[in-house]
Amino acid sequence: MKRVKEDLALLKTAEEQEFLQKQQQDLDGALKKIIQQHKLEIATIERDCLNHKQQLMRAREAAMWELEERHLQEKHQQLKQQLKDQYFLQRHQLLKRHEKEMEQMHRYNQRLIEEMKNKQNQERVRLPKIQRSEAKTRMAMFKKSLRITATASVTPEQERERIKQFGSQEEKRQKNERLNQHQKHENQMRDLQLQCDSNIRELQQLQNEKCHLLIEHETQKLKELDEEHSQEIRQWREKLRPRKKALEEEFTRKLQEQEVFFKMSGESECLNPTTQSRVSKFYPIPNLHNAGL
């Protein structure tokens, strides 16, 4: 009887041990599954956080790059506007100087015309005096020649007629002189006016050439400024490529490090869920038979 009881006790103990082992295995499996699920969730959260962080960093870097490019564009536009303002001021000053030059040319031409008018007026005033003096002299010489060549057959009436004819011829000659003088004055004034107009045209042509040269110089400077800006943008973009590449390489390295970390962590901690470092541990139910109950 005692032997039977001992066998039953051993059998019961073996069953209890088997039950405890099965419970421990089930617990280990459940814990391992929970741990793996938890680590998967943590890895997913960490990966999402890292991806979100990297997206924010990409956005920040993109904003910085956009700001840098905008700064270059604004600096170029500012330099371009300064150059345009500078040449606008130069054109304004040049036009003012041209106006003064044109005014001086008009005054110079007007002075030439006034001098010509005064000279011609003096000639017109002197001509009658000269003609009267010459007429007296010529008349005296004509009368003297009549007396020298006079014959007995020439009557006083004929002599008066000759003097009258000579006087009429003198009047015609004086009239022709006045007409010639008038025509001469008109020709002089016309030539002078043509010369004045030519002076104005030459000055205008010279001023137009100066304006065109200034515009060409401005166009060339603006072109050089645009070329410098294009070169600066190209150099900036060439330097931007390695910066983008380095940033993406850094992001990739961080992701790989995270993947390696969670992979190694999962392998090391999930090998034996019942290690002593684990807080949760299955405690077996006390043996009621051995406890004497």
pLDDT digits (tens, 9 = 90+) for 40-67: 888 888 888 888 888 998 899 899 999 9
Q: Residue 177 CA to chain centroid, in angstroms?
A: 71
198 neighbors 105 (Cβ within 8 angstroms): no
Q: pLDDT by residue for the chain (293 residues), tens digit each?
A: 677 777 778 888 888 888 888 888 888 888 888 888 888 888 888 888 888 888 998 899 899 999 999 999 999 999 999 999 999 999 999 999 999 999 999 999 999 999 999 999 999 999 998 988 888 888 888 888 877 776 656 677 877 888 888 888 888 988 999 999 999 999 999 999 999 999 999 999 999 999 999 999 999 999 999 999 999 999 999 998 898 899 889 888 888 888 888 777 666 555 454 444 444 444 444 444 444 43
> How distant, in Å, are the alpha carbons of 18, 68, 79, 216 from that of 225?
90, 19, 8, 14
Please tell me what DSSP assigns to residue 280: -
199 neighbors 109 (Cβ within 8 angstroms): yes
- Which element (helix H / strand E) includes 289? none
- Tell me what percent of the chain is helix, strand and coil, each rounded to the nearest 5: 90, 0, 10
Q: Is the pTM of this model over 0.95?
A: no
